[in-house]
Chains A and B, each alone.
Chain A
Amino acid sequence: MTAKSPSPAPRSDVLRAVKDAVAAALLACLLFLPLVAFKTVQSMRNELVLETRWGYFFALVAVVGLVRFFHVLVVSPWLAKRLTKSTASSAPASTLRTAFAKWFAPLALGFVTVYPFVVLVLTGFGGAVKWIDNFGIQILIYVMLGWGLNIVVGLAGLLDLGYVAFYAVGAYSSALLAKTLGFSFWMLLPLAGMFAAFWGILLGFPVLRLRGDYLAIVTLAFGEIIRLILINWVPVTNGSAGIGGIPRPTFFGIPFDDSATGFAAVFGLEFTPIYRTIFLYYVILALALLTAFITVRLRRLPMGRAWEALREDEIACRSLGINTTNTKLTAFAMGAMLAGFAGSFFSARQGFISPESFTFIESATILSIVVLGGMGSQIGVAIAAIVLVGGTEIMRELDFLKTIFGADFDPIQYRMLLFGLAMVLIMIWKPRGLISTREPSVFLKERKTIAADLLKEGRG
């Protein structure tokens, strides 16, 4: 790269880079001294012993200094040059962007539809289950949850930190009904949605007057209450041990097993568990698309517009004759219902549920998907779900790292580091999420995108 530049960097630039690098290294010293240089270990006699790791420490500090030096000297001038160039030729970039916006959704839809078969062809029957289940189904569950929460947070502007509670209500109600009354998955799905919506309204009533931070705290508490009830109401929920043996979904009455009446036998195929996985993939895909469809439709209906108006200005809504109580409750109920669907699917897919699946960290994950994706944006939320959940799953696959860092290195433990990194990058690069602009729901002549800084977030 340096060979390409016509003249070598002037002395002052190098000096500045060195200064910057030294400053960064000093800062890293301060930070890593307590974090990395010292380590407390418990000795054989149960005493705390201070160990030092100067090697690691100096290596990290040196890396920080070098990266900073390189960044100041090479990367940032290159970025600046690229920026001036791109402003000069912005016209083709914008046509590229409109083309992207036009073709992205249909292409993505096509891809997710054929995804299981692509995986089957690429990895064969043996490896496909992992790729369809861990990457396909797992990501789609979070896409659906993200889209559901997007209605509450992104459209209505009601910050909900306890969204996982409705997911739990859906999962437990469908598991319990399946075990006690023997309902099938297709009956349980709407029932779980209804139960969750009911709990959404129940939560909605006491928090109607709250907004912003106060609402967030109460919903956070609600999520914890539901989890604690699940743990402590042992006669019904079986406590921390969870509920197992939940009946798996059937293909319109045909079970996915190796019996004579099973799916494989009926269709004359050789039995493998992959059929069920593919079936589940399409079920969650349909549910996620249903969520997207409902959201897109609702945004064009007076109800959805009232949600967005509520986010923009609640008092103005009331002055225009909008019943804000009902508007908030429907937003809560709609978001909760979609989480209930997802929960019902989750319990049927796992066959086993326990309160551990519904901790606060799940709510936080779903909320960070919505925030990173850009509140109110469907495509942004989907991309964020793929990056965060897919990224977590990818980390499970990085076994080769063990050859570098030793056998007891577990990449999955660095999951939160990935979250943190994604958050920091997004905050620097796009502080209001990947896609932070808003498309008006209706237009007279042409659809003009609304800039992010005009949008409110419902904190008023």
Chain B
Amino acid sequence: MTSPARDIVLRVEHLTMRFGGLLAVQDLSFEAGREVITALIGPNGAGKTTVFNCITGFYKPSEGRIALQRGNPKLWDELEVLTGSGARSVRRGDGALFLLERMPDYLVTQQAKVTRTFQNIRLFQGMSVLENLLVAQHNPLMLASGFTVLGILGFRSYGRAQRDAIDKARHWLDKIGLLGRADDAAGELPYGAQRRLEVARAMCTDPVLLCLDEPAAGLNPRESSELNELLLSIRQDHSTSILLIEHDMSVVMGISDHIVVLDHGVKIADGAPDAVRNDQNVIAAYLGIEEDEVKQAEAEAGL
């Protein structure tokens, strides 16, 4: 941690989110490292999904700053200038810096390249698997079709762009083992395959930061370990950073490099998996009280 700014992709500072009288997230600050898997964990109702919604622009935070940087890390030095200027982003030839709390949801994906998945899978069920992956490449394809005008007139450039897009989709389908089912409706796939498809669809937007909301929920152990491999290969091969909400500890402890623990909207621990695993606050939050205390109580009761 000598130069923390150098390998950070996302910086959340003093994030607070209020819904009327309810304080869902309170003064939360954490950083997500570049090309690293950061896990956000906590008991139910801790405010994890709210944090996700703030980062991806679905909610406008009540207070706080969410900054994302890609390319040359020197751009972090301009953070204060950008905040003061009132603009959404600074863009240079070799990178860009964004203030996500100032951007609407679709621009967070389109420009800042932060893409998310959902706790309850949100695929386009009535569209084929391949179409799902092409919708994810909407913006580059839109440009290639001359905002539809050239496409309607049948220009070649769009055909070429679509072939490239299909190749990219094919690459991801191969990776998640669904190449054989490319032409089936997404809604017909088994649950585990739908989870993987949602990750692949998010990856088709070429994200800098991939936000996964409980990707292993409802998966069996085998599917869950396949997902681990997929996420590790995404981190390695695609220079994508991952931010992960997860309850499945085998996934969290198995693949994450850094864990942030939330409870009742407040950060209670932040660090490497081993440190977090043994943190007294974390154990208390998950189990109510410590294990020793349970034994002590049992002994006193004469059990």
Contact = CB atoms under 8 A, between A and B. Distances in A.
Interface residues of A, number: 39
B134 A305 contact: yes
Interface stretch (B18-26, B39-47, B139-147, B278-286): B139-147
A309 B122 CA distance: 11
* Max chain B C-beta neighbours (<10 A), residue from A318, A320, A446, A455: A320
B134 A442 contact: yes
Given A319-B109, A320-B109, A443 B127 contact: no
B103 to A, nearest CB: 11
Given A306-B138, A451-B185, A456 B131 contact: no
Interface stretch (B110-118, B234-242, B265-273, B288-296): B110-118
Contacts of A321: 106-110, 115, 138-139, 205
A450 B106 contact: no
B64 interface: no
B233 interface: no
Interface in B136-161: 136-139, 141-142, 145, 147-148, 151-152, 154, 158
A442 B131 contact: yes
Interface residues of B, number: 49
Contacts of B183: 440, 443-448
Contacts of B226: none
B115 A443 contact: no
Contacts of B115: 319-321
A302 B124 contact: no
Nearest to B132: A309
B210 to A, nearest CB: 11
Nearest to B182: A444
B139 A308 contact: no
A14 interface: no
A315 interface: yes
* Max chain A C-beta neighbours (<10 A), residue from B122, B130, B135, B152: B135
Contacts of B29: none
Contacts of A445: 182-183
Contacts of B141: 301-302
B127 A309 contact: yes
Contacts of B138: 302, 305-306, 320-322
A67 B109 CA distance: 62
A313 B109 contact: no
A452 to B, nearest CB: 9
A14 to B, nearest CB: 46
A24 interface: no
A444 B131 contact: no
Contacts of A301: 141, 145, 148, 151-152, 158
A179 interface: no
B116 A319 contact: yes
Contacts of A319: 56, 58, 105, 109, 115-118, 122, 202
B152 A297 contact: yes
A191 B187 CA distance: 43
A250 interface: no
B201 interface: yes
B131 A440 contact: yes
B177 to A, nearest CB: 15
B219 interface: no
B123 interface: yes
A27 interface: no
Interface string B204-238: 01000000000000000000000000000000000
A319 B106 CA distance: 6
Interface in A290-336: 294, 297-298, 301-303, 305-306, 308-309, 311-313, 315-324, 330
A442 B163 CA distance: 11
Given A294-B152, A298-B148, A316-B122, A305 B106 contact: no
Contacts of A121: none
Given A313-B123, A448-B184, A324 B142 contact: no
A459 interface: no
B164 interface: no
B128 A450 contact: yes
Contacts of A303: 142, 145, 147-148, 151
Nearest to B201: A320
Contact of A320 (B187, B188, B205): B205
16 contacts: A294-B152, A297-B152, A302-B145, A303-B151, A305-B138, A316-B122, A318-B105, A320-B136, A321-B139, A438-B126, A441-B131, A443-B130, A443-B182, A446-B183, A448-B184, A456-B125
Counting from the closest, the 10 A-B pairs by CB-CB distance are A321-B109, A321-B110, A455-B126, A312-B124, A316-B122, A302-B141, A454-B187, A440-B128, A444-B182, A301-B151
Interface of B: 56, 58, 105-110, 115-118, 122-128, 130-131, 134-139, 141-142, 145, 147-148, 151-152, 154, 158, 162, 166, 170, 179, 182-185, 187-188, 201-202, 205
Given A321-B110, A444-B170, 7 more contacts: A301-B148, A302-B138, A308-B131, A309-B124, A319-B105, A320-B135, A447-B183
